[in-house]
Amino acid sequence: MDDQNLGPDSQRRYDDREFYQALGLKCGLEMHRQLDTTHKLFCRCPVQPYTSEYHAEILRHMRPTLSELGVYDPTALMEFKTKKDVVYRLHRDTVCTYEMDDAPPFGLNRGALERAMVIGVMLNLNLVDELHIARKQYLDGSIPTGFQRTTILGVGGHMMVDGRRIDIRQLGLEEDSCREVSDRGHRRTYMTDRLSIPLIEIVTEAQMYTPMEAARVGSAIRRLCHLSGVCRTGLGRARQDVNVSIAGGTRIEIKGVGSLRELPALVHYEALRQKALLEMRDTARSRGIQADGFEGAVDVTAMARRHRHPALNIAWGTGTSAQAIVLRGCAGMLATPTGPGRTFGDEVSDRIRIIACIDRVPNMAWSDDPASFELTELFGAVRQQAGASPADAVVVVAGPAADVATAISEVRIRMQEMLEGVPRETRRSLRGGGTRFERVLPGPDRMYPDTDLPPIVLTERDFERARAASPEPLWDKETRYAVMGLSPVQIERLFTTDAWTIFEAVAARSALRPTILAYLLLDWVPALGRRGVPTVEVDADLLVRLFGDAGAVQWTQKDAAAALAQALGHAVHWVGKNASNGTAEVGA
């Protein structure tokens, strides 16, 4: 990640160690990267580009199962309450009976295993000598079988980032999930083209203490994966999750972070959200609010029908209702800010949207909300009927009767969790650094052994092959590039554009200054391409022919750029002082 994209003010703000130390901030990363293989992890279906085309659909409903210890995973129970119809769209070239759980696995893709072991060596992990495949429950429907096959390749590794050792907890090899197409009401739709593509998961220890540290470690792992040459790159091939906690809070997992540039704001605002929730807990305790203060609901269907508030704007008829719940002593608390443009009322609304599947906006009316001022009469009637006072808050939900009953139950559960502080959740990132509830945090009860696949014994020959395929350590290579005079931004871009391979080949055989060579590869060649100049011929051999003699050490950046353009059959006329701050006019 190029830190400069955040701007200097943001960098300073998100790297204020004293501020975050006072919060007790800790965070760790889970980095997911698809491996560059020709077929999937447990079958022979090919890995192909994603597509919206499909040839069939199937419908599934998910049910939780007991663990070997007779315990249900809380996430599985939560997903079961949503009563989702899960639809899978199938492309005949990318799925088979294995993905639909109609056939046993075909055996582990050894090519994927060998590539994953290269990453394990690069991360200095203690690689296991016997792999055991496990099943991890996923009842959100993202995997048609209801579970993901996964295995641990190594534990107890480390990498160096900015001269500091970052410990790697483990490296996993697993199958990727489906791509979500839509999620409306009780119906969720997936494409299955991504399903079962080999995926590695790199899990760090919680050793990052500022948001910028998390971003820099994530960026280093990204560069390491590029350097390995075994990972796929591009949109949808890489995802990252970040785990955040503060003193007195708990671990919150923010999933599906699309870009490392989003990490600093997400970590920052999650830390502040937990701080706000802890302060709410203390306020509630000082008011003497008790868990039994959220019991009971009031049927307000007749009154709600008369109002045009957006939360009550439904197609009233048989099977619809409106229910109100009184939150004793909680007046004003739902309006507590918990994130950018978000309040605690939004946290409650998230539960209704995800679990009760009432996903219109807004999906509830609440007495602390200025937008619900027109419902003052309705809230007053509820308080009177329930024997409540102005010190109590009121929430009203309307919709299908069964969904409303679920919604009122979730409001009660979330308010009871408020009395404890920060509930264990998995959250989804929002634009601007905020997050929203996605599901309760899974526990160990969702993991159990896979009985379809035997253990896989790794030999010393396997380890030797992985060591032989592992490149120079990332931190050593970056130190060498820095000694050459390259800036951190240039080093970052060389790896993340995969231009480092040409850079290495040319730098070893050319006297051209490394900084100029990096400029040509990272800036000038793309600039020529944008001007319509064919750049497909630009490779290491061409650059060595142009700049391989000893005299190239005297070349300026502008001269080198002009020579490369001329070699491609185009002349350059500079408008401005030099190549770095002038404008180039390129002609045939």
**Are 54 and 89 within 8 A, CB to CB?**
yes
SS (H, E, C) 540-551: HHHHHHHHCCHH
Specify whether domain 290-418 bears CATH 3.30.1360.30.
yes
Q: Give the CA dihedral 434, 374, 279, 268, nearest 10 degrees.
A: 10
Residues paired with residue 400 on neighbouring β-strands, in sequence order: 320
Give DSSP secondary structure letters for 41-57. SSS-PBP----S--SEE
* pLDDT at res. 75: 86
CA dist 43 and 64 (Å) reads 25
Output the tens digit of pLDDT for each of the chain's 588 residues.
444 455 555 667 899 999 999 999 999 999 999 999 999 999 999 999 999 999 999 999 988 887 777 788 888 888 889 999 999 999 999 999 998 889 999 999 999 999 999 999 999 999 999 999 999 988 889 999 999 999 999 999 999 999 999 999 999 999 999 999 999 999 999 999 999 999 999 999 999 999 999 999 999 999 999 999 999 988 778 899 999 999 999 999 999 898 899 999 999 999 999 999 999 999 999 999 999 999 889 999 999 999 989 999 999 999 999 999 999 999 999 999 999 999 999 999 999 999 999 999 999 999 999 999 999 999 999 999 999 999 999 999 999 999 999 999 999 999 999 999 999 999 999 988 999 999 998 877 788 899 999 999 999 999 999 999 999 999 999 999 999 999 999 999 999 999 999 999 999 999 999 999 999 999 999 999 998 999 999 999 999 999 998 888 899 999 999 999 999 988 776 655 444 444 555 554
Name the pairing type of β-strands 252-257 and 238-245. Answer: antiparallel
**Are 266 and 435 within 8 A, CB to CB?**
yes
Residue reference for tokens 């960098």: 11
Nearest to 202 by CA among 169, 234, 156: 169
User: How do the domains of the chain map onto residue ranges?
Assistant: 3-282+444-449, 290-418, 499-587
CA dist 397 and 410 (Å) reads 11
Q: Give the CA dihedral 341, 347, 351, 354, nearest 10 degrees.
A: 30
**Are 84 and 189 within 8 A, CB to CB?**
no
Cβ-based neighbour number of residue 262 at 10 Å:
20
| Residue 260 CB contacts under 8 Å (≥ 6 apart), including other chains | 1, 215, 218, 219, 222, 240
**Cis ω on the peptide bond leading into residue 362 (within 30° of 0)?**
yes
Largest CA distance in the chain: 92
pLDDT in tens, 86-127: 999 999 999 999 988 899 999 999 999 999 999 999 999 999
